[in-house]
Amino acid sequence: MSNTATETLSVVVEREIPFPSEKIWRALTQPHLIEEWLMKNDFKPVMDHRFNLSADWGAVDCQVLAIEPHKTLSYTWAAYGLESVVTWTLTPTGTGTHLRMEQSGFRPDQQQAYQGAKSGWPKFLAALEQVLARTD
């Protein structure tokens, strides 16, 4: 049964990245690296930790929901009325790591936020790949 009032949309971006999951994990969880590809932050890879992401356009309120080192990271992403969840999944491959990012929880009336995420995340992931390419 699907109720259109509660049906939400997700943005999914997937990448094959030629680096081990441990290296990608560092870029997803170390504040100085997160700042390089995403936003300024006070992130800690600790369950239930509340943190903010801040950019010139505003801030995002977040809370860590799930954390499994080198495999899964999930946190809430709340901004401008949007209550969503971002989940990163890292899967080792023969040549590196399959990285999957899903942001779920966009309501049908939140088209602006949804379209913004659809165009924004590929840019964030491209920046992430650049950070990975130049860090040890």
What residues does each domain of the chain span?
19-134
Q: Assign domain 19-134 to its CATH superfamily.
A: START domain (3.30.530.20)
Q: Is the predicted pLDDT of residue 1 greater than 90, yes or no?
A: no
Query: Confidence band (pLDDT; 50, 70, 90) for 119?
Result: very high
Per-residue pLDDT tens for 29-73?
Answer: 999 999 999 999 999 999 999 999 999 989 999 999 999 999 999
Q: Is the dihedral of CA 73, 68, 51, 42 positive or negative?
A: negative
Residues in the chain: 136
Tokens representing 59?
A: 């801030």
Integer angstrom CA distances of residue 71 from 15, 20, 24, 90: 15, 11, 10, 5
Q: Is the predicted pLDDT of residue 3 greater than 70, yes or no?
A: no
